[in-house]
């Protein structure tokens, strides 16, 4: 998900207009003395939030943006300022037998707090879906939101006719959220068991199918990365969900993620668009679509426009990453000063100086200040040992002993994380070679070749952006297979845009020392620069037109 953050920019629309119909739904409190019942309050909050997100005329922040305020003592005015919204919704919920009690209040969070609307609902559990819809429509009315007939129909649709299945589904969601955050295998298995139990009771429960698909996606992404049937179970489950409910935004988004990962870009974009048509406040769909537009298709203007909408929906703990992402995209297209500004804004929010130094190190690499990049990368590691200095910086500046020690840390880190070393195996190999450990070096060069060839064959994301071809070329060039190196470089050269940092690095990459001065290699470098400059100029004009420079 870090890569998906590359394509965000600040909003271009009038802040006052945004605030007028903007709302955040704060975590609901459970009125029960039993902490185990909190999942019911969370389920009610999620349902009302998802209903509100269906209204195109309303800006609704993502759920993750408000989680930080669970149990907070901050005033509603402070919260509204931090979230950048005009209204907050607070709620409390309790289920006792077949009776439910819901208390909600809509707060206009100006300097002088005012309660715009409040109500208490004492209903039967069987009426839970109508209550959720009623609350959402009432709130929309209070905010003078336009509700189209299609939107009204969407939020009045009943998810399941079986309330026992619905209860199991809410419990499953709670465990799935915990697994997403902690990677606790017990939480994953419990979530899966509960989703399956819900489906045994109601085989037509579409949301339970998409919930199960989401759980599988989180759990098996890396174990199945190089399998030919990668994430097929997710596709089967979301297709089943959509056959039961063709207005299920989350199923379309998961389907988009699936197609994106296997390299079917058109299908991915189509599914993200379907998700956004149903839910115009769908943060992840905007984020993912922006990633494809900018990194894969290399239309940075459209990618930034899409990312802008995502940024409007993100606050709280996710905000610093979003700001950094703004910096990344500016850096990609050659605006390092603006990139640094956004890195600084992120630092103000999270105080993560290690991440700040790490970002600055890539900025310095992009402008060919390699020694400074190396120093900044080391500073990041000194502040926080979990930030490993980039091994590429060591290689390019000739710090072979430090590169060797770092290579060993890389191997240990990826082994512990259970992830493949997709981008750095050849750099690790080079570090081992530099200190005379040729057998180990050969192993990691061959591992890079294997990973890249498999990624290209299966259409994985590093192949979509053709980075796999660059890494392959570097490995082959170093190992002395010039013919294969140029074959890969010729494929790499077909890209219509190249990031500034990649051009800077390619000019000095030690893996290409054997062919660096050859005319064929120099011509490829020239093509890279020309394509970069063309897109840089296009983005510059767009930024000027929107008064962002």
Domain of 512, in residue numbers: 390-544
Please compute the mean of the pLDDT values over residues 516-538 and round it to a whole number: 96
- What is the structure's pLDDT at 5? 41
Pick from 389, 380, 379, 392: nearest CA to 409: 389
Pick from 426, 171, 154: nearest CA to 280: 154
| 295 part of a folded domain | no
Please compute the mean of the pLDDT values over residues 334-361 and round it to a whole number: 93
| 193 part of a folded domain | no
| 314 part of a folded domain | no
- What is the structure's pLDDT at 387? 82
Render the burial of 208-228: b for 16+ CB within 10 Å, e for the rest: bbbbbbbbbbebeeeebbeee
Please compute the mean of the pLDDT values over residues 81-104 and round it to a whole number: 94
Structure confidence by residue, pLDDT tens digits, 456-503: 998 887 777 788 999 999 999 999 999 999 999 999 999 999 999 999
Contact 431, 400 (CB under 8 A): yes
Over pLDDT 70: what percentage of the chain? 96
| 374 part of a folded domain | no
Over pLDDT 90: what percentage of the chain? 68
- From CA 449, how far away is CA 472, in angstroms rounded? 6
| 345 part of a folded domain | no
Domain end: 93, 119, 144, which one? 144
More confident residue, 387 or 34: 34
CATH of the domain at 519: 1.25.40
pLDDT band at 7 (very low <50, low <70, confident <90, very high): very low
Q: Is pLDDT above 60 for 379?
A: yes
Alpha helices in 84-231 (DSSP H): 128-142, 149-155, 163-182, 185-201, 206-220
Structure confidence by residue, pLDDT tens digits, 291-317: 888 888 888 889 888 878 888 898 878
Please compute the mean of the pLDDT values over residues 24-32 and round it to a whole number: 95
- The mean of the pLDDT values for the chain is 90
Q: Is pLDDT above 70 for 12?
A: no
| 496 part of a folded domain | yes
Paired tokens of 359: 């970002």
pTM for the model stands at 0.84
- What is the structure's pLDDT at 66? 93
Structure confidence by residue, pLDDT tens digits, 155-192: 999 999 999 999 999 999 999 999 988 889 999 999 99
Q: How many domains does the chain have?
A: 2
Domain end: 144, 163, 182, which one? 144
User: For 280, what's the count of Cα atoms within 13 Å in the CB-facing half-sphere?
Assistant: 11
Q: Is pLDDT above 60 for 17?
A: no
Domain end: 100, 115, 144, which one? 144
- What is the structure's pLDDT at 287? 86
- What is the structure's pLDDT at 24? 96
| 223 part of a folded domain | no
Please compute the mean of the pLDDT values over residues 528-534 and round it to a whole number: 96
Render the burial of 99-136: b for 16+ CB within 10 Å, e for the rest: ebebbbbbbbbeeeeeebbeeebeeebeebbebbbbbb
CATH of the domain at 94: 3.40.50.10070
pLDDT band at 400 (very low <50, low <70, confident <90, very high): confident
Q: Is pLDDT above 70 for 112?
A: no
pLDDT band at 437 (very low <50, low <70, confident <90, very high): very high
């Amino acid at each position: 998900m870090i890569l998906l953050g590359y394509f965000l920019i600040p909003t271009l629309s009038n802040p006052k207009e945004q605030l007028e119909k903007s709302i955040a739904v704060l975590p609901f409190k459970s009125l029960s003395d039993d902490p185990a019942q909190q999942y019911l309050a969370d389920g009610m909050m999620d349902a009302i939030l998802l209903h509100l997100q269906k209204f195109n005329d309303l800006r609704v922040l993502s759920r993750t943006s408000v989680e930080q305020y669970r149990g907070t003592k901050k005033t509603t005015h402070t919260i509204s300022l931090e979230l950048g919204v005009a209204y907050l919704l607070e709620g409390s919920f309790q289920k006792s037998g077949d009776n439910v009690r819901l208390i909600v209040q809509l707060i206009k969070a100006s300097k002088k707090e005012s309660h715009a609307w409040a109500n208490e609902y004492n209903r039967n559990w069987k009426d839970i879906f109508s209550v959720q819809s009623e609350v959402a429509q009432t709130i929309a009315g209070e905010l003078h939101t336009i509700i189209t007939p299609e939107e009204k129909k969407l939020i009045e649709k009943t998810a399941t006719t079986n309330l026992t299945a619905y209860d199991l589904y809410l419990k499953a969601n709670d465990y799935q959220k915990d697994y997403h955050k902690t990677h606790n295998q017990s939480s994953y298995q419990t979530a899966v068991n509960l989703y399956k139990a819900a489906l045994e009771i109601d085989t037509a429960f579409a949301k339970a199918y998409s919930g199960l698909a989401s759980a599988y996606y989180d759990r098996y992404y890396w174990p199945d990365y190089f399998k030919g049937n990668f994430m097929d179970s997710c596709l089967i489950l979301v297709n089943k969900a959509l056959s039961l409910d063709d207005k299920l935004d989350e199923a379309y988004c998961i389907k988009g993620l699936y197609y994106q990962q296997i390299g079917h870009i058109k299908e991915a974009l189509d599914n993200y668009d379907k998700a956004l048509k149903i839910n115009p406040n769908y943060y992840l769909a905007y984020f993912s679509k922006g990633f494809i537009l900018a990194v894969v298709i290399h239309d940075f203007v459209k990618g930034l426009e899409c990312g802008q909408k995502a940024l409007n929906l993100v606050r709280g703990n996710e905000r610093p990453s979003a700001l950094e992402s703004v910096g990344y995209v500016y850096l990609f297209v050659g605006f390092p000063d603006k990139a640094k500004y956004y890195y600084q804004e992120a630092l103000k929010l999270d105080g993560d100086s290690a991440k700040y130094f790490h970002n600055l190190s890539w900025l310095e690499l992009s402008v060919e200040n390699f020694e400074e990049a190396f120093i900044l990368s080391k500073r990041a590691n000194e502040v926080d040992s979990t930030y490993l200095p980039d091994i590429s910086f060591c290689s390019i500046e000739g710090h072979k002993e430090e590169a060797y020690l770092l290579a060993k840390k890389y191997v240990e880190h990826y082994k512990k994380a259970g992830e493949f070393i997709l981008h750095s195996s050849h750099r690790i190999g080079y570090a081992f070679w530099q200190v005379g450990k040729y057998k180990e070096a050969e192993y990691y060069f061959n591992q890079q070749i294997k990973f890249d060839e498999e990624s290209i064959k299966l259409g994985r994301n590093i192949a979509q952006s053709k980075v796999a071809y660059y890494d392959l070329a570097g490995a082959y060039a170093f190992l002395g297979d010039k013919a294969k190196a140029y074959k890969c470089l010729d494929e790499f050269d077909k890209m219509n845009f190249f990031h500034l940092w990649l051009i800077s690095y390619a000019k000095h990459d030690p893996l290409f020392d054997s062919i660096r001065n050859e005319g064929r290699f120099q011509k490829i470098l020239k093509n890279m620069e020309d394509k970069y400059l063309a897109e840089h100029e296009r983005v510059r004009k767009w930024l000027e037109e929107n008064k962002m420079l």
